[in-house]
């Protein structure tokens, strides 16, 4: 969470609901737990913990909500990737609107290599994707602008200076991430 003011407001609200005084060391502890996560996910976690909890939440209560959410999103993103592979294939260069997917696939060996995945490997590749996506989606920084496909790689190898125009896949309702070219 990056918005410290909003974080404090939410923590004070939870403290009031549960009749608990929130000390500075306690506030600092919860801030350290929530700081790595995006504000939108933390807002959801605060609502869930407030509405579902009968007792003052422990840090692990927030982590269960947040990491469960991250795993759910990662699983949905993997479905998006598999659908794109089946529909487009590894011949075309692609870019995902969720740029963390680009970094995840690159870390797995790239779009072309992922396209060589056998159906029997899909389950295990999915687990690897979900684990890596959880990491890349929570870190800042830049992500690859696109994932090169077989056609563009082949053209580059033959010395053709063709500009790569990747197929855009997916929709995102969050602010765009920085993309490195």
Judgement on whether residues 35 and 103 belong to the same structural domain of the protein? no
Report pLDDT for 137.
85
Judgement on whether residues 45 and 97 belong to the same structural domain of the protein? no
Instruction: Compute the distance between CA of residue 78 and CA of residue 37 in angstroms, rounded to an integer.
Output: 20
Report pLDDT for 23.
94
Mean pLDDT of 78-105: 94
Average pLDDT along the chain = 88
Judgement on whether residues 117 and 159 belong to the same structural domain of the protein? yes
Q: Which residue has the higher pLDDT, 66 or 92?
A: 92
Task: Note whether residue 102 is domain-resident.
Answer: yes
Report pLDDT for 177.
39
pLDDT 10s digits, 130-150:
999 988 887 767 899 999 999
Instruction: Compute the distance between CA of residue 65 and CA of residue 88 in angstroms, rounded to an integer.
Output: 34
Judgement on whether residues 165 and 108 belong to the same structural domain of the protein? yes
Domain end (from 14, 38, 57): 57
Contact assessment for residue 74 and residue 42, using Cβ atoms and an 8 Å cutoff = no
Q: What's the pTM value of the predicted model, to 2 decimals?
A: 0.62
Report pLDDT for 66.
85
| Percent of the chain topping pLDDT 90 | 64
Contact assessment for residue 30 and residue 59, using Cβ atoms and an 8 Å cutoff = yes
Domain count, the chain: 2
Domain range for 122: 88-180
Judgement on whether residues 92 and 25 belong to the same structural domain of the protein? no
Indicate the DSSP class of residue 144: E
Judgement on whether residues 103 and 176 belong to the same structural domain of the protein? yes
Task: Note whether residue 151 is domain-resident.
Answer: yes
Report pLDDT for 174.
42
């Amino acid at each position: 969470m990056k918005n410290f003011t909003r974080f404090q407001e939410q923590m004070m609200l939870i403290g009031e609901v549960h009749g608990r005084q929130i000390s500075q060391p306690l506030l600092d502890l919860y801030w350290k737990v929530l700081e790595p996560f995006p504000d939108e996910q933390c807002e959801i976690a605060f609502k869930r913990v407030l509405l579902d909890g009968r007792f003052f939440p422990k840090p692990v209560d927030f982590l269960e909500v947040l990491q469960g959410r991250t795993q759910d999103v990662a699983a949905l993103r993997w479905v998006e990737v598999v659908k794109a592979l089946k529909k487009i294939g590894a011949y075309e260069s692609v870019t995902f609107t969720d740029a963390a997917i680009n970094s995840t696939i690159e870390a797995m060996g790239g779009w072309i290599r992922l396209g060589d995945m056998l159906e029997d490997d899909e389950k295990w590749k999915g687990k690897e994707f979900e684990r890596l996506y959880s990491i890349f989606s929570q870190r800042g920084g830049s992500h690859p602008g696109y994932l090169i496909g077989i056609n563009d790689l082949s053209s580059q190898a033959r010395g053709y200076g063709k500009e790569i125009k990747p197929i855009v896949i997916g929709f995102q309702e969050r602010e765009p991430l920085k993309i490195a070219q």
